[in-house]
Amino acid sequence: MGRGESILVVDDVKNQRKLAFRLLSRLGYNVETVNSGEDAVEHLKSNRADLIVLDMIMEAGIDGLDTYREAIKLHPGQRAILVSGFMETERTVEAQHLGAGVFVQKPYMMEILAMAVRKELDRK
C-alpha cells in the first residue's frame, strides 16, 4: 500500500495510463499521467515525483531510456520502474545501470505492480 507518495505514469497508450492510474490510486498513491517522454520531462521541470512508472517503448518521440536520462539530469537519483509489453531489452538494462529499478511486464497485474512500486520506493 502507498503512503501518499507521488507517482508519474509515462505511457503512450491511453488505456495503459488509465489502468495504471486506477491501480496505483487504489493503493494510496497520488498519481499523475503523461502520454510521452517529452511530456514527462516537461512535467519534471516544475514537479517532483517520488517514482516514475516508465514505459520503455513509445511510438513517437523519445523512449523510456532517453526519458530516464533526462529525468536524472533534472532530479539526480530519480526513482523509476520500467514497464513494457515486450521483453526486457538492452536499453532496459542500460536504464537500470543508470539507477532505474525493476522491469515489469505488461499487462499490469495489481500484485506485481504494487510489489515493484513498493520495492523501488523503499530501496535505499
Q: Are the C-beta atoms of 62 and 42 separated by less than 8 Å? A: no
Predicted confidence (pLDDT) per residue in 66-90, tens digit = 999 999 999 999 999 999 988 778 9
Range 22-26 contact pairs with CB under 8 angstroms and sequence separation of 24 or more: 23/108, 23/110, 23/113, 23/114, 24/53, 24/113, 24/117, 26/110
* Type of residue numbered 99: G
Task: Give the chain's domains with CATH numbers.
Answer: 6-122 (3.40.50.2300)
Predicted confidence (pLDDT) per residue in 92-117, tens digit = 999 999 999 999 998 888 899 999 99
Identify which of 104, 55, 64 has the alpha carbon closest to the alpha carbon of residue 72. 64
pLDDT the model gives residue 47: 97
Cell of 94: 542500460
Q: Are the C-beta atoms of 22 and 48 separated by less than 8 Å? A: no
pTM of this prediction? 0.95
Share above pLDDT 70 across residues of the chain, in percent, rounded to a whole number = 100
